[in-house]
Structure 1
Amino acid sequence: MKVFIQTLGCAMNERDSEHMLAELESKEGYELTADSSEADLILINTCSVREKPERRLFSEIGQYAQAKKQGAKIGVCGCTASHMGGEILRKSPHVDFVLGARNISKITQIIHKPKAVEVDLDYDDSLYAFEGVRSSGVKALLNISIGCDKSCAYCIVPHTRGKEISIPLDLILAEARKLAQNGIKELLLLGQNVNNYGVRFSTEHAPIDFTGLLRELERVEGIRRIRFTSPHPLHMDDEFLHEFARNTKVCKSIHIPLQSGSSKILKSMRRGYSKEWFLNRVEKLKSLVPDVGISTDIIVGFCGESDEDFAHTLDVLEQVRFDTLYSFIYSPRPHTRAFDFDKSLSVPKDIAQKRLSQLQERHREILREKAQADIGKEYEVLVENVFSDERGCFSEGRSDNNRLIHIDGRKLDLGEFARVRVMRNEGGSLFGEVVG
């Protein structure tokens, strides 16, 4: 039997898809296929964060239903499944089952239950040891917690993934060692608020926080690099920042979601920190790691955002000079606090779009400036991709601080670490050559 999986959304969803595939392969004998028309089981792993995800979901269901082979089942999984539940079955007779983001360990059970709905937000997957995930390449995802206890006004995640629970240390270390044995060189730790790790476990557990977890993972032989997403600015205390700087395996790049540069808007968003706190943490971080790479998320046009509020966001952009920026126009989502805000606070779409364009254009200028300043610098690059075309062979990989560098004329081995000097910048893309 064959299974086709379409994964929408974040790295957490990607990891959920990997877990479901591993369970189906090991316990039910399924094989993965890239062709939905030959699949016996079609899984749509959904996301609820962006605007109108339900519309996209039912469009996808219709397309798969039309092209699928006779007898093939369609299952809707993930975050949209969590908050819509049985409504998906009522709206689409083509769907055979619905499996919420908090219930993915039940995948091998639900495929045998016609029209079943499993969306229990209180279900605890944190102690479940999933079947071994096939690891390919040199990087792997690793969950350290599930759910979210924050109450950000714009976010639906607590409604789709439930309360925050940390995964026991022994399970994390066992999976990390297994991945290392399979050739994985770099781990990406996943959690809605990774640096809140250890606040709650399902059973008795020795006290540990995220800083302690990083120290434990540093001892895992074979793992050379550790990244994580996403830390919450509120929990970036000095101990964590010092560990980030000291730990020999923690990559010196970090995603710090800003969302807005205005303290007034941050309060309305219920983010728990101010513009001043965010800038203080970044200043401290840069004093410890001068060449740190910093990425962020920014929402423009949130309820009540004025020109002055947006100017604060631009000011943070100028001070931090982010290496990567994920930016969006705010879109109201049902089941969030902001959905019920006074509609008079809504920012007109044309103004929000103008602000987004201004933000993104300035960020592009900053990236061009930073790329030009990288010429002549040397980085240790983990080779992640090797390819060739009519011009010859090429390799590419990322530096410790997350610079993507193309290596001309060299076909290196996947997983190899190479010392690379940046030789030129082409439109913000870095090209280098191996040295030493």
Structure 2
Amino acid sequence: MNTKKLYIETMGCAMNNRDSDHLIAELREKEGYVLTDQAQEADLILINTCSVREKPERKLFSEIGQFNAIKKPHAKIGVCGCTASHLGEEIIKKAPSVSFVLGARNISKITQVIHQDKAVEVDTNFDDSTYMFSKNTNPDIKALLNISIGCDKKCTYCIVPHTRGKEISIPTQMLLDEAQKLAQNGVKELLLLGQNVNHYGTRFSNPHKPTNFTQLLRELSQIEGIERIRFTSPHPLHMDDEFLEEFASNPKICKSIHIPLQSGSTKVLREMKRGYTQEWYLDRVQKLKSLVPHVGISTDIIVAFPTETEEDFEETMKVLNLVQFDTLYSFIYSPRPHTEAQNLHNPISKEEASKRLATLQARHKEILAQKAKQEIGSIHSVLIENHRDQSPYIWSEGRSDTNRLIKIPDQVLPLGSIVSIKVTHHEGGSLSGELLS
């Protein structure tokens, strides 16, 4: 019997990676597909798309054309994810080689649409929050776990509510059961996913006991075998003291956190409809650092939002200097359809936008160099994730509790082990150290 082969390309965020995991597991268990890394061998090619910025969306049709040129004669091409939700049947009109379109809120329908020529399933009101997806048979040391779908925020620059629909939380018991199975299969670290994870518990599909994100963290941390819990992304607006205190005191919660800033200007934050001020953001960071002085903080920043003045940009630089972020994801504003900001007059030139981004990133690079020097002599708890062998050099590497990638030269340590490492060297922001235990 000929085995059916699946090739999948995933663009965008961790949520898309998790959706791809679901697609792979459903097709493997219910349709007999096996993964291949060669698109020309595949019987089914899936492109799981992102639409947060314009560039990945433009890239889609180029990718479709390339796959169509190399695919087997009867192989199917399916477009999934956020751009699928956004463009729908327009994708098939522009690219007739596409066999079906499956929106981000409709992933559970994959085994249906592969049998329906030119199917378009993009209903953002569809609710699969209680759907039992097939499981990954080869879990890693780390695993992704969706705790909610959709987004209720109305940020004026963001297309996600249009592509992923209203926010619905996945029932707590389903999450605990899945986490338990993952732990039994050797998973040590969970990464909880949601557009606003710390808004968990606001809405469920079915009657559910009152709960919140802090309570979910407490319950997940009781599972034996789960050693570490991370999550992305919390919203600054919902970072109350109860949450911050649980973050600080729960030993299983990694002491790294992504706190999207977007802009340091209160005026721009208001125009973005983010719901918080610069003062609130800095207050939350100060509270967090008072509880966990060594906390690792990452963020997102958009430069050249249509109403951003030079003074507004300087406010962003002010926050960058005050917080000293460990990781920075920064982008020039990208206008997206179905968003309020698309209709704003934008007087900022491409040259000025690029200049602001370069200024931001250059300053952050300086901050990272300073922070790397300060790491010498520090001790970190590191989860060993990989071995590297580039003869004559060998090393193990993993992530610290604060999400720093650390190399341990001349060591082949057991994958999944958690060890104490003393940082002895830094180079270009990367850290290496010696084993203490």
Q: TM bucket by the smaller chain?
A: over 0.9
Report matched runs for 1:270-281 at 5 Å: 270-281=273-284
- In the TM superposition, what is the alpha-carbon distance from 1:331 to its structure 2 partner? 1.1
Q: Deviations over 1:146-167 (max 9, x none)?
A: 0000000000000000000000
User: Following the alignment from structure 2 to structure 1, what is the Cα–Cα distance between the partners of residues 48 and 429?
Assistant: 33
Structure 1, gaps ≥5 residues long: none
* 1:393 aligned residue: 394
Contact 2:139 2:182 in 1 (8 A): no
The correspondence of residues 296-375 of structure 1 with structure 2, limited to 5 A, is 296-341=299-344, 343=345, 345-375=346-376
Matched, 1:287 2:290: yes
In the other structure, the counterpart of 1:411 is 412
The alpha carbon displacement at 1:390 in A equals 1.8
Q: Which amino acid aligns with 1:433?
A: E
Alignment of 1:56 onto 2:66: no
Q: Give me the whole-angstrom Cα distance separating, in 2, the residues matched to 1:159 and 1:30.
A: 31
Listed one character per residue, the Cα deviations across residues 38-61 of structure 1 (whole Å, up to 9, x for unaligned) are: 000000000001224332111000
**RMSD between aligned alpha carbons?**
0.8
Partner of 1:117: 120
Distance 2:137 2:316 in 1: 42
Indicate the residue corresponding to 1:91 in structure 2.
Answer: 94
CA contact (8 A) 2:81 2:103 kept: yes
Does the aligned pair in 1 maintain the 2:50–2:57 contact within 8 Å? no
Distance 1:137 1:28 in 2: 23
Q: How does 1:203-214 map to 2 (within 5 A)?
A: 203-214=206-217
- SS in structure 1 opposite 2:26? helix
User: Which range is displaced more, 43-52 or 261-270?
Assistant: 43-52
Q: Deviations over 1:75-115 (max 9, x none)?
A: 00000000100111111110000000000000001100011
Distance 2:11 2:265 in 1: 30
Residue 134 of structure 1: CA displacement? 3.2
Deviation for aligned residue 1:137: 2.7
Aligned-partner Cα distance in 2 for 1:347–1:145: 36
Q: Do 1:137 and 1:415's aligned partners in 2 also have CA atoms closer than 8 Å?
A: no
> How far apart are the structure 2 equivalents of 1:366 and 1:38?
46
Q: TM-score, normalised by structure 2?
A: 0.98
| Cα distance, 1:260 vs structure 2 | 0.3
Q: For 1:75-90, what aligned pairs fall within 5 Å after superposition?
A: 75-90=78-93
Q: Deviations over 1:10-54 (max 9, x none)?
A: 000000000010000000110010000000000000000122433
Question: Number of aligned pairs?
Answer: 434
| C-alpha separation in 1, matches of 2:312 and 2:377 | 38
Which of 332-341 and 156-165 deviates more?
332-341
Contact 1:28 1:108 in 2 (8 A): yes
Displacement of 1:418: 1.3
Helix, strand or coil at the partner of 1:394: strand
- Residue pairs, 1:230-249, within 5 angstroms: 230-249=233-252
Give the Å deviation of 1:427: 1.4
Deviation at 1:139, TM superposition (A): 0.6
Amino acid at match of 1:402: N
Aligned equivalents of 2:21, 2:76: Cα separation in 1: 19
Query: Residues 135 and 184 of structure 1 are in contact (CA less than 8 Å); yes or no, is this contact kept in structure 2?
Result: no
Matching residue of 1:131? 134
Matched to 2:356, the amino acid is: R
- Name the aligned partner's letter for residue 339 of structure 1: Q
User: Is 1:226 aligned with 2:229?
Assistant: yes
Contact kept? 1:137, 1:414, Cα under 8 Å: no
- Counterpart CA distance in 2 for 1:332 and 1:55 is 13
Percent identity between the two aligned chains:
66
Letter in 2 for 1:161: R
**What SS is found at the alignment partner of 2:279?**
helix
* 1:154-191 Cα deviation digits (max 9, x unpaired): 00000000000000001101110111111110000000
Residue of 9, 26, 30 corresponding to 1:27: 30
For residues 113 and 51 of structure 1, the distance between their equivalents in structure 2, rounded to whole angstroms, comes to 29
Query: Which residue identity lines up with residue 332 of structure 2 in the other structure?
Result: I
- Name the SS of the counterpart of 2:24 in structure 1: helix
Q: What is the CA-CA distance between 1:435 and the residue it aligns to?
A: 1.2
Deviations 1:193-225 (A, max 9, x none): 000000000000000000000000011110000
Q: CA deviation at 1:428?
A: 1.0
Show the counterpart of 2:426: 425
Structure 1 residue 136: Cα displacement: 3.6
Alignment map for 1:102-113 (pairs within 5 Å): 102-113=105-116
Distance, in Å, in 2 between the alignment partners of 1:137 and 1:103 is: 26
Q: Does 1:267 align with 2:297?
A: no
Deviation of residue 246 (structure 1)? 1.1
Tell me how far apart the structure 1 counterparts of residues 334 and 28 of structure 2 sit (CA, whole Å).
38
* Partners of 1:243 and 1:131 in 2: CA distance: 32
**What is the CA–CA distance in structure 2 between the aligned matches of 1:250 and 1:24, rounded to whole Å?**
33
Classify the secondary structure of the residue corresponding to 2:54: coil
Matched letter for residue 88 of structure 2: G
Return the alpha-carbon distance in structure 1 between the equivalents of residues 353 and 103 of structure 2: 33
Following TM superposition, where does structure 1 have runs of at least 4 consecutive aligned residues deviating by more than 3 angstroms?
Answer: none
Write the deviation string for residues 292-348 of structure 1: whole angstroms up to 9, x where unpaired: 00000000000111111011000000110000000000011111110111x2x3311
CA contact (8 A) 1:302 1:346 kept: no
SS at structure 2 position matched to 1:219: coil
Residue 418 of structure 1 aligns to which amino acid in structure 2? Answer: V
TM-score by length of structure 1 reads 0.99
State the Cα distance separating 1:413 from its structure 2 match: 1.4
Matches within 5 A, 1:64-83: 64-83=67-86
Instruction: Give the partner amino acid of 1:37.
Output: Q
Q: Which amino acid in the other structure matches residue 354 of structure 2?
A: Q
For 1:408 and 1:88, the matched residues in 2 are separated by: 49
Partner Cα separation in structure 1 for residue 99 and residue 429 of structure 2: 47
> 1:135 Cα deviation (Å)?
3.7
